[in-house]
Structure 1
Amino acid sequence: MLLLSLFSLLLTAPATPAPDWRTPFERGNGNTTATYDECIAYYQRLDAAYPEIQLSEAGTTDSGRPLHVVVLSGDGDTDPVSLRAKGRRIVFIQNGIHPGEPEGIDASLMLTRDYVQQKALHRQLDDVVLVIIPIYNVGGALNRNTGTRTNQNGPESYGFRGNARNLDLNRDYIKQDSRNARSFAALFQRWQPDVYVDTHTSNGADYQYTLTLIATQKDKLHPALSQYMQQELLPALYGGMDQKKWYLTPYVDFAGRTPDARGLVGFLETPRYSTGYTTLFNTIGFVTETHMLKAYTPRVRATYDFLSLLIGTVQRQRVALAAARATATLQTQQQQQFALGWRLDTTAAEQFTFRGYAGKTKTSDVSAQPRLYYDRQAPYTKPIPYYNTFRPTTTVQRPRAYVVPQAWGEVVERLRLSGVQLRPLSMDTVINGETYYIEDYKTGSRPYEGHYLHTGVQVRTVQQPRSFLRGDYYVSLDQPAARYLIETLEPQATDSFFAWGFFDSMLQQKEHFSDYVFEDLAANLLRQQPALRAQFDQKKQADPAFAASGPAQLDWIYQQSDHYEPSYLRYPVLRVR
């Protein structure tokens, strides 16, 4: 009887409820996004429940909170060296760089759960490893509000675009002013992913698409990777999203009044941007941009479906992807000429079938002037031009090495974080090489992300011996970071360290002269150096303004004399050919 009673009790005892694995987004009303604390807490639950998932800290951020990283590996191996040796392809997903654009945050929570709970998805982890930054801009995520995304249709509350230092982190990948960016660089170099995704929400025109896509600009990507991306990866992604009824379009950037007026223009991501930085290391990059005016739930679902489709496509195309990347790595080591600047070719366009809304005009209720609006009752599907061909405007020959003085410690630190191998000189020495002198540049009148950017840089090259000190750095180009080195250390490059102002102190003259003292010295120089006198007279004859200006004449003689400081406008980094 006792046994029967116990058996009866067991039959009638309430079953242990199954764990509730719904994400904060799924538990909400379809218009809410996970807070920072909710997001990290959910990943902590997943980490505790599934050996395939590891949540860890990956450095600091400007907010004082850590940067977290989630690794999702089918066999629980989270060592990138070991995983690469096994032939795994690595997909790196970054969310919340702009926390007011949070679709990727919520989509990745669901994605991580589903990849360990659904067998069909789990099988993909035999060949692909996922590395996920849950929220990159931690400070912006903590600065939660309901109003700053003026043009956006949900969610109800969200984070702020600027980080704890009010930096836009998607302009910080080269200059690395933020601790976030420095932590990212170390993490990226540790994993060296094959494909990188940065999740966003767009602004701009109105159109039918829920999701738009920025792919690494094809002409800036290494040709082997560009060919694979255009011929295999992108067709699979566009076709797969079509099958899911999330019709895909290139990012809707355009020069006309509306997208169909003059067509779409490709986005040129220079290295200040996430995918511009990752391209320097032969990583294919994507930026997903959901449309701000669509409801939040479809934006999250479309992001989820794209990420899942991308992972599955990488798994199926893993051999082709690995071969393209290996070719790109080998050929980059042998490449002799590199582009430093690009310009859109407005004569080259392909036709793209675009799903838009008619742009019309009506009278503004505010100004009583004509204003643009998009008529959702007038959808269209028609071919429009897509301009996505860029031509190099500035190129440079690859040097054998650079020599970087240790005095420029901020530059040296950033080189190290991006995986550059530096060899300190063992003794004071003289090295013969190419020295740049800055001939001209333009500087913005207003600060941009904490810097006054230099553009239009022109240099003069002089072959000369230079003295360097023990502890200065000899930086060989025979290393994987060769392209990164060229695009940061060549001052003419769009996002070089010179362009961002890291070498500005060499643009200021430190010594000068008093006119009344130098008058006698200048006269003696002209008497003692007939060739200088001839140059001086010729310049006066050719330039009336110069001939009429005593100070200009004294300054010219000063610049030709031994009194003129040799370091003025001399770029500190030496090129060794």
Structure 2
Amino acid sequence: MLAVILVTAPAAAQIPTPASVLGFEPGADFHLATYEESVEYFQLLDASSDRISMMRAGRTSEGRDWWIALISSPENLSSVEQYRDIADKLAHPAELSDSEAQSLSLEGKAIVDVNGGLHASEVAGAQHTIQLAYELVADESPRISAIRQNVITVLWPSLNPDGQTMIADWYSSNIGTPYEVSSMPWLYQKYIGHDNNRDAYMLNMIESRVLARTWQEWDPQIIYVHHQSSPFPTRIWLPPFAEPIASFTPPIMARTVNTIGMTIAQMLESRGMPGAVHMGTGFDAWYPGYVDYLPMMQNQAAFWTETALYRYATPHFYTLSDFPPARRDLRVESLYPSPWKGGWWRLSDAVDYMRVGSLAVLDYAAKYKEDLLYNRYQSGRDVIRKYETSAPYAYFIPQDQPDPVAPVELLRRLAFNGLRIYQLNQDVTHEGLTQDAGTWVLPLDQEFGELARQVLSVQEYPDLREYPDGPPEQPYDAAGWTLSYQMDVNVIEVTQPLTPEILSAMQELETEALAWEEEIADASP
């Protein structure tokens, strides 16, 4: 288990503002905080208040300590293990009845993961977390107090510590030169760069493993990842996603994310912040490899948003002549009812849109925490019931493979993402085929069964057209990824229920997770 060290400083102590530590407000023109500066501020918050507790989640590829902050009421933080245990029980519902789950949902607290900075050149995300932390700790308004009372916020200062510092240093070195808004000429995350959000099921990167492991440790009901690439001239793109979405997305989770997207838009409108848009033809959720969407198949409401970006912390002025011709009439649309009219766009604007987005999500969680907790249970329960009575019931993975290492690597990744793997201790016969002792079995009647189905089934991308009989719409990302094909592993789909003989021959493969130790350089199991 991850160790949580709770502070004892009273909430009424003098709480430092971001500007008093950084020397500038988060989002100020021509200023970017490095990861080290951000963590310094978070640690000072930790030392000054009993509403926040910093903890180390792991280490990055370049060796930086990677931190998260738990923010809630002092009472919740003192009982955080109790609430984490409740979240864990609801996430794994096989041993619970509906009435037990309802009782736990009433007793528990919503756990919401908020973060930014995954794509380090999308700089507002890792700047907004600084301001958000201050507000969640220091603000005494009824809305924020209710959030602290009902929600445990898991706030990452940045999802890409290495990249945050690289980009901040690069930008700072070029301010006032012809290269002020130039792209950094090396990757902002070791080996993988901008594709660091596409490693969710392969888990090749240390950072992906730390993230997956932390989310399994805390079992958040909502995961919100901030990005910064809204379709111009809109100011923020929000769910619902464009078509298509992943074939095996649990419907309760899809509905929850759609509702949250509209909730964010409503709060933005209420604060006079125009330009929110939904759906469109850009950001679909077909590909399950996104770190900010794969948790949907683990019955977590996971999503991302895209806030507008110019470049780094340099402000820019837009006129209607900069807009695409189709947007210059500022036409009101059902999913874009308050078109942005142009003007200055600063990093502080992007930070503010993200801050309001995060607060809207936390406010939603505070108001509907019982529903969020119970829906996590219900979604997992429904997946179990689905595959108890419908095919495919399981997958057999024989040991006899062209590459004997490949099935092990495939199954390791599924197991790291929370799927339970079994192995036959004797030969069995099923559907006319003999499965040898040692064959691996992946039953689908488990709470994350849709994840296995999503990555092992053959994809059939829908025939979506730009207009009737027109050209196909371009997929936003990968259209196919069947892991058994990509890794050349023979995976046998089981179309009839597993017999009692097979069930009695299945032994679950188990291993103990390693504790975070100083000498461990990554998050491998």
Pairwise same-fold verdict (TM > 0.5): yes
Change (3 A) 1:194 1:216: farther
CA contact (8 A) 2:112 2:220 kept: yes
Residue 492 (structure 1) shift: 4.8
User: 1:275 aligns to what SS in structure 2?
Assistant: coil
CA contact (8 A) 1:197 1:287 kept: yes
Is residue 81 from structure 1 mapped to residue 84 from structure 2 by the alignment?
A: yes
Structure-1 residue corresponding to 2:266? 239
Residue 38 (structure 1) shift: 0.6
User: 2:68 aligns to what SS in structure 1?
Assistant: strand
Residue deviations 1:65-117, cap 9 Å, x none? 23322211322143353463532111111221111112121211111121121
In 1, Cα distance between equivalents of 2:450 and 2:428:
23
Residue 317 (structure 1) shift: 2.4
Residue 474 (structure 1) shift: 3.1
Structure-2 residue corresponding to 1:91? 112
User: 2:121 aligns to what SS in structure 1?
Assistant: coil
Question: What amino acid maps onto 2:117 in structure 1?
Answer: G
Question: What amino acid maps onto 1:170 in structure 2?
Answer: N
Question: What amino acid maps onto 1:279 in structure 2?
Answer: M
Change (3 A) 1:133 1:495: farther
Residue 297 (structure 1) shift: 1.0
**Where does 1:464-543 land on structure 2 (aligned, <5 Å)?**
464-469=433-438, 473-490=440-457, 492=459, 494-498=480-484, 501=486, 503-504=487-488
Change (3 A) 1:234 1:276: closer
Counterpart selection for 1:170 from 182, 185, 197: 197
Residue deviations 1:506-534, cap 9 Å, x none? 6xxxxxxxxxxxxxxxxxxxxxxxxxxxx
CA contact (8 A) 1:216 1:284 kept: no
User: 1:163 aligns to what SS in structure 2?
Assistant: coil
User: 1:335 aligns to what SS in structure 2?
Assistant: helix
Structure-2 residue corresponding to 1:112? 133
* Relative contact order higher in (CA < 8 Å, ≥ 6 apart): 2
Change (3 A) 1:39 1:160: farther
Residue 576 (structure 1) shift: 7.0
Question: What amino acid maps onto 1:165 in structure 2?
Answer: Y
Change (3 A) 1:68 1:282: same
Task: Give 1 or 2 for the bigger CA radius of gyration.
Answer: 1
Change (3 A) 1:240 1:108: same
In 2, Cα distance between equivalents of 1:18 and 1:188:
29
**Where does 1:71-470 land on structure 2 (aligned, <5 Å)?**
71-74=70-73, 75=75, 76=77, 77-79=79-81, 80-82=83-85, 84=87, 85=104, 86-120=107-141, 121-144=144-167, 145-146=170-171, 162-167=188-193, 168-202=195-229, 205-207=231-233, 209-215=234-240, 220=246, 221-230=249-258, 232-250=259-277, 254=281, 267-293=284-310, 294-336=345-387, 397-400=391-394, 402-403=396-397, 405=399, 407=405, 408-425=407-424, 427=425, 429-433=426-430, 464-469=433-438
User: 2:305 aligns to what SS in structure 1?
Assistant: strand
Residue deviations 1:281-323, cap 9 Å, x none? 1222231211123321101111111111221122112233344
Question: What amino acid maps onto 1:53 in structure 2?
Answer: I
In 1, Cα distance between equivalents of 2:449 and 2:242:
19
User: 1:236 aligns to what SS in structure 2?
Assistant: helix
Residue 464 (structure 1) shift: 2.1
Question: What amino acid maps onto 2:452 in structure 1?
Answer: L
Question: What amino acid maps onto 1:199 in structure 2?
Answer: H
CA contact (8 A) 1:72 1:129 kept: yes
- Count of equivalent residues: 390
Change (3 A) 1:78 1:277: same
In 2, Cα distance between equivalents of 1:237 and 1:19:
28
CA contact (8 A) 2:15 2:49 kept: no
Residue 326 (structure 1) shift: 3.4
User: 1:289 aligns to what SS in structure 2?
Assistant: strand
In 2, Cα distance between equivalents of 1:227 and 1:200:
21
In 2, Cα distance between equivalents of 1:195 and 1:18:
28
User: 2:427 aligns to what SS in structure 1?
Assistant: strand
Change (3 A) 1:124 1:415: same
In 1, Cα distance between equivalents of 2:113 and 2:494:
34
User: 1:26 aligns to what SS in structure 2?
Assistant: coil
CA contact (8 A) 1:174 1:495 kept: no
Query: Which structure 1 residue ranges, 5 or more long, are not aligned?
Result: 1-15, 255-264, 339-395, 435-462, 507-570
Change (3 A) 1:106 1:492: same
